[in-house]
Amino acid sequence: MLGGVCGAVSSATGIDVTWVRIGFVLLAIASGVMVFVYAMAWLLIPMEGETGNIYSRAVSDRRGIRLVVAVLVPLLIAVQLITSTLHVPFVGFIGWPTFLAIGVIILIWRNANENEKAFIDNDVVPLFGADTHGQGRHWLIARVLVGAIVGACGIALLVMGHTTVAALRPVGGAALVVAASVIIFGPWWLSLVRDLIAERQARALAEERAQMAAHVHDSVLQTLALIQRSADDPQNVVRLARAQERELRAWLFEGRPPGAIGEDATMLGEGVGLLQRQVEADHGIAVQVVMVGDCELDEALRALLDAAREATVNAAKWSGVDQVSLYAEVEADTVMLYVRDRGCGFDPAAVPDDRQGIAQSIQARMARFGGTAVVRSALGEGAEVQLSMPRRARVK
Amino acid sequence: MFRAGVKAELGDAVDVVGEADEAEAAVELITERVPDVVLLDVHLPGGGGHAVLRGVHPHHPEVQFLALSVSDAPEDVIDVIRAGARGYITKTISGPELLQAVYRVAAGDAVFSPRLAGFVLDAFAHGDSPPAAGLDPELDQLSPREREVLRLIARGYTYKEVGRDLGISAKTVESHVSSVLRKLQLSTRHELTRWATDRRLV
């Protein structure tokens, strides 16, 4: 979770990772030494996939060592001199370990590789709030100061011994120290927890997607089996193949889960897709759809879709070809829809009665909502039905 | 398997001088044999069709690329056109149409499937409103005539039929289409560049 040490121990010994982590945490609570051991392990065990560990790399980093020594040692000496002349007591005591720690950290930073740097960036840096700017920085400083003061009071209370409220003192001191650590480290802890939650959600999403993928695979396998069985019925084969192709395409490239489109479409694009699927399935032809723009369906547009369906089915039945193109364009104030086929066409002047009826039916559907329908055709050159429906003006 | 099918469809009408199943090999073969037309799969392993275009186009600009894809996704299509392909067809295209497309591209014209025309109309939407700040009207907008041509192509018309409908010659239609292709390749319209930056291609 943090530095991958538990993962390494787990894979080396074969114990489940969670148990290893619990063990580490318990030991760390029992004795703070474990935190130190963890840090040492992180330094010394090579990251999965790396050959050297950080320690060996740091030691062989001559430039880094030279840099550290050249910069820090004079600084250290200067600080020591200044504090000893001014007789400031504590600094000498904590001075050189601090410098040593800084030097080591610099060496580690220079020699950590990408993943380890990512760990430092994501988990350690937020701990010190070094990645906050501006407002965040002010809050951070305020938080650290308040926390430090509270912590200092707590420690002082714990350390100083002798008055009447002796019993309360340790408790109060301890409480203050705990409060201090919460104030200082709280946000970091929260962000770790948040990351965990996000990770879990991502995993749930991935599982859901894997399930859908399995469903689609089943569907494809079934279709392939059916196709083999219908090998002597080419029309059926084409129908099956096309339906499966549409479903797979919709899932792969539009993220639509299989079987999700019910009979109730809310957008024009969905409605057109539904029309396409139904006509293809019922009449065994291919409907090529090109759409520009999209909008919500209202009564008028549903009538448009019905008219388009009639026109498409008509083309499927009478044109004599197995492909119909449907083009829909959503403009600001109208929706235009064209259904075109390259079939035998007809002569508008000499039209048989049932065909005339359909043209009239389409026109009637459109006219009820203020739209228009024009049927253009010529013998031998296919036919085109041009539908146009005004969009109801939105109240701004 | 797909390549065998394509070769069968092309038959003897076209001389197949080479095939490759991976981007690096393709670039090598193309620079060696310099064919007239390359049928390029958008999702070629090893970097996609994009990698091949990038590898060949600067050195051999005379080689024309016809992009193929199963996906029909607008990003793939626009991507590959902006990288230098002269045309785009889907893998479900019929044999004779494939041949026609190859000839068209070899002659230097653009091949626009109805789908591609739809995508372009979408990407260059709102062409009638005044150009937003930073948009070069020449490159980033379609002229009304180009829109009409594209619209007819999207409706499934061939170039000849488009010409007949608008009262212009097929050659004029082709020049309009080429101009649209140029705009597609050079425009900095944010819809187009967004796709490219999403894939860190810009």
Residue B107: pLDDT band (50, 70, 90) is confident
Q: Which of A253, A327, A384 sits opposite B72 (nearest CB)?
A: A253
Q: How far apart are CA A96 and CA A140, in angstroms?
A: 27
Question: To the nearest 5 percent, what fractions of chain B are helix, strand and coil?
Answer: 55, 10, 40
Helices vs. strands in chain A: H and E counts, helices first: 13, 5
For residue B33, give how far its alpha carbon lies from the nearest alpha carbon of chain A (Å): 35
User: How large is the ipTM?
Assistant: 0.73
Cα A285 versus chain centre, distance: 38
Count CB pairs under 8 A between chains A and B: 41
Residue of B nearest to A332 (CA): B126
| Geometric angle at alpha carbon B185, from B184 and B186, rounded to 5° | 100
Q: Is the model's pLDDT at A1 over the cut of 70?
A: no
Position A273 scores a pLDDT of: 87
Rounded to two decimals, what is the model's pTM? Answer: 0.57
Q: Is the model's pLDDT at B132 over the cut of 60?
A: no
Position A202 scores a pLDDT of: 93
Of A131, A118, A132, A129, residue with least CA distance to A2: A118
Q: Is the model's pLDDT at A152 over the cut of 80?
A: no
Position A260 scores a pLDDT of: 55
Q: What is the residue extent of each domain of chain B?
A: 1-111, 113-202
Structure token digits, residue B89: 């067809």
Q: How far apart are CA B82 and CA B75, in angstroms?
A: 10
Mean pLDDT (chain A, rounded) = 75
Contacts of A197 (CB under 8 A, 6+ apart): none
What percentage of chain A exceeds 70 in pLDDT?
61
Query: Is domain B1-111 classified as CATH 3.40.50.2300?
Result: yes
Q: Within 10 Å of residue A65's Cβ, how many Cβ atoms?
A: 16
Residue of A nearest to B73 (CA): A253
Chain A contact residues (CB < 8 Å to B): 245, 249, 252-253, 288, 290-293, 325, 327, 329, 338, 340, 342, 384
Q: What is the pLDDT of residues A218-265, one digit of tens each?
A: 888 888 888 888 888 888 888 888 888 888 877 776 666 665 555 567
Q: Within 10 Å of residue A153's Cβ, how many Cβ atoms?
A: 16
Contacts of B187 (CB under 8 A, 6+ apart): B124, B136, B139, B140
Q: What is the residue extent of each domain of chain A?
A: 135-260, 267-390
Q: How far apart are CA B126 and CA B22, in angstroms?
A: 40
Q: Which residues of B touch A338 (CB under 8 A)?
A: 155
In this prediction, residues A77-86 reach a mean pLDDT of: 70
Structure token digits, residue B41: 């799969």
Of A6, A40, A8, A11, residue with least CA distance to A24: A6
Contacts of B101 (CB under 8 A, 6+ apart): B66, B87, B89, B93, B111
Q: Is the model's pLDDT at A394 over the cut of 60?
A: no
Q: Is the model's pLDDT at B159 over the cut of 50?
A: yes
Partners of residue A372 on adjacent β-strands: A388
Q: Which of A253, A291, A340 sits opposite B118 (nearest CB)?
A: A291
Q: Of residues B79 and A84, which shows the higher confidence score?
A: B79
Q: Cβ A293–B122 below 8 Å, yes or no?
A: yes
Q: How far apart are CA A212 and CA A248, in angstroms?
A: 11
Contacts of B148 (CB under 8 A, 6+ apart): B166
Q: What is the pLDDT of residues B60-69, one digit of tens each?
A: 888 888 888 7
> Please, are residues A281 and A239 in contact by the beta-carbon 8 Å criterion?
yes
| Geometric angle at alpha carbon B17, from B12 and B21, rounded to 5° | 115
Chain B contact residues (CB < 8 Å to A): 71-73, 92, 114-115, 117-118, 121-122, 125, 151, 154-157
In this prediction, residues A289-313 reach a mean pLDDT of: 89
Q: State whether residue A245 is helix, strand or coil.
A: helix
> What are the backbone dihedrals phi and psi of residue B37, each rounded to the nearest 5 degrees, phi first?
-130, 140
Range in A26-35, A208-217, B73-82 with the lowest mean pLDDT: A26-35
Give the C-alpha distances (Å, rounded to integers) separating A43 from A56, A78, A107, A113. 9, 30, 11, 12
Q: Of residues A21 and A326, which shows the higher confidence score?
A: A326
Q: How far apart are CA A34 and CA A45, in angstroms?
A: 16
Q: What is the CATH number of domain A267-390?
A: 3.30.565.10
Q: How far apart are CA A58 and CA A104, in angstroms?
A: 9
Looking at residue A52, what DSSP letter applies? S
Q: Cβ A253–B155 below 8 Å, yes or no?
A: no
Residue A201: pLDDT band (50, 70, 90) is very high
Q: Is the model's pLDDT at B128 over the cut of 50?
A: no
> Please, are residues A324 and A285 in contact by the beta-carbon 8 Å criterion?
yes
Give the C-alpha distances (Å, rounded to integers) separating B9 from B2, B14, B100, B112, B184. 11, 10, 12, 20, 30
Q: What is the pLDDT of residues A334-391, one digit of tens each?
A: 999 999 988 888 776 666 665 566 777 888 888 888 889 988 888 888 889 999 999 8
Q: What is the pLDDT of residues A92-141, one digit of tens each?
A: 555 566 667 777 666 666 666 565 566 666 666 665 555 555 566 777 77
> Please, are residues A345 and A383 in contact by the beta-carbon 8 Å criterion?
yes
In this prediction, residues B16-21 reach a mean pLDDT of: 84
**Domain boundaries B113-202, CATH class:** mainly alpha
